[in-house]
Structure 1
């Protein structure tokens, strides 16, 4: 008889994965310099999770000088495999930061990618893409039906902000039939 853990068919962590987990722990303990000494080589070797995390550190100025261009550089490297990196990069295109032009249609492309990733769809991307479609932007016409579908998916994924927004849509009857009952469920 196999134990529950055996039934999961867990694979051993690669040395890179173990180091990345160590980096996350160090960052949680505010040991930024120690974390950076490990994460930068991981990112340079192509570890996409490390690339995304290094991008976030540059975006926030945590352990390194705040530098949007460096954040964009690392997000671009990770965006094909890490939904959160695609989402983060999309924000830079939306606002024209980090040396990128304002391109809301590129934001849509990246947020769509992040929200439909087959391994781990990123609920925040669904929510923010829904808001973008609700309001529209240059090159992105408003699309209330699509907006509501995205916000519903984010709410179903457990994103509290999307659940609140969905309740507001029901209360106001925006994109949904007005329903106090649905709003408070």
Structure 2
């Protein structure tokens, strides 16, 4: 678990105990028997269907550009001239040329460039360049942090927060705060989470709120989800701000935050705080389940077993239940369903469950 994951889990547990089981993932299952629909659409997501069944409706919000047959497309406007600095290392990194990025960053770091030092740290941390060749990522982050580079301040600070040494923890908190004050959105989320950890109860939520708001505006899904939990919990907020919990929950869900997708699904299915919409709720539950959320898998398995909001499908129910059972969650009713399957259906459910597990 990364340092950031530790803090993310801490804020989730502070806001909604029990949700720490869910980890945000960013991939859908791609087994052809599991998913049909527009997988490229982050909004529409994939749709879990029984084998061989086509979707009963298209995925929402698909757009296409069309021009009359035979007409030429309009020309593109000329690109404005650029005479600013060119960062060869980051340019290579963005193109996926990691070897070239490392070599360029190494040259730039020799001239004391903190951005280059940060980039080398990230290349090593992501295992794109071997640590045996470049040295520890933490050392590169430390050097860049000494120059005040915000991303490196956050990464190095978060690493120190996982240390067993109290002095390291204290220094780590200071560095994360500096990164947050410098405008790094991940650091703003992390610092807000630290404030909650250090100040239990609603006082901590109030202290963290402006940091989460800044991070959420920068599209950090963890911060958006945190706002969806904090706004209803603070009684002295203006009503118009409290009502924004739904907006931020939807933003986090659109950003593939699986716990937000689960919460949105349950709100729609139960009509909690928004109009009841079983179909949309089940769609969001599928997305959360396909993103590896165990609570969503468990609930979706039950819906398929009973035919609630979906066609009854014992094989698909077993697919999701077997996936969540690997995590040690046993449900007697679902055990009975799996035991009652014929050998061929059970084998296929196990195959589909293994395919799903490979995606998270």
Maintained 8 Å contact 1:105/1:140: no
Identify if the C-alpha distance between structure 1 residues 137 and 55 changes in structure 2 by more than 3 Å, giving closer, same or farther.
farther
Match of 2:169 among 68, 79, 82: 68
Structure 2 alignment gaps of length 5 or more: 1-78, 91-104, 109-113, 284-360
Q: String of CA shifts for 1:133-157, please: whole Å, max 9, x gaps.
A: 23x1586689652211110111122
Taking the aligned partners of 1:74 and 1:138, their CA distance within structure 2 comes to 32
Match of 1:156 among 250, 254, 258: 254
Structure 1 alignment gaps of length 5 or more: 1-5
Maintained 8 Å contact 2:250/2:264: yes
User: Structure 1 residue 24 and structure 2 residue 122: aligned?
Assistant: yes
User: Structure 1 residue 82 and structure 2 residue 82: aligned?
Assistant: no
2:205 is matched with 104
Which structure has the higher relative contact order (CA within 8 Å, separation 6+)? Answer: 2
Runs of 4+ in 1 over 3 A off after TM superposition: 28-33, 64-68, 137-144
Maintained 8 Å contact 1:145/1:175: no
Maintained 8 Å contact 1:123/1:159: yes
- Report the 3-state secondary structure (helix = DSSP H, G, I; strand = E; otherwise coil) of the residue aligned with 1:158: coil
Taking the aligned partners of 2:191 and 2:236, their CA distance within structure 1 comes to 18
Taking the aligned partners of 2:249 and 2:140, their CA distance within structure 1 comes to 37
Q: Normalising by the residue count of structure 1, what TM-score does the alignment of the two structures yield?
A: 0.77
Taking the aligned partners of 2:205 and 2:235, their CA distance within structure 1 comes to 6
1:40-55 alignment, distance < 5 Å: 40-55=142-157
Maintained 8 Å contact 1:144/1:175: no
Q: String of CA shifts for 1:96-120, please: whole Å, max 9, x gaps.
A: 16xxxx5321211100011113xxx
Taking the aligned partners of 2:242 and 2:178, their CA distance within structure 1 comes to 33
Q: String of CA shifts for 1:16-48, please: whole Å, max 9, x gaps.
A: 333212112323449597223222121010100
1:129 is matched with 227
Identify if the C-alpha distance between structure 1 residues 139 and 146 changes in structure 2 by more than 3 Å, giving closer, same or farther.
same
1:3 is matched with none
Larger Rg: 2
Match of 1:183 among 276, 281, 294: 281
- Report the 3-state secondary structure (helix = DSSP H, G, I; strand = E; otherwise coil) of the residue aligned with 2:138: helix
- Report the 3-state secondary structure (helix = DSSP H, G, I; strand = E; otherwise coil) of the residue aligned with 1:103: helix
Identify if the C-alpha distance between structure 1 residues 52 and 167 changes in structure 2 by more than 3 Å, giving closer, same or farther.
same
- Report the 3-state secondary structure (helix = DSSP H, G, I; strand = E; otherwise coil) of the residue aligned with 1:176: coil
Q: Normalising by the residue count of structure 2, what TM-score does the alignment of the two structures yield?
A: 0.42
User: Structure 1 residue 34 and structure 2 residue 136: aligned?
Assistant: yes
Q: Paired residues, what number?
A: 169
User: Structure 1 residue 59 and structure 2 residue 161: aligned?
Assistant: yes
Maintained 8 Å contact 1:155/1:163: yes
Taking the aligned partners of 2:176 and 2:235, their CA distance within structure 1 comes to 23
Taking the aligned partners of 1:43 and 1:159, their CA distance within structure 2 comes to 29
Taking the aligned partners of 1:152 and 1:145, their CA distance within structure 2 comes to 13
Q: Which has the higher helix share?
A: 1
2:194 is matched with 92
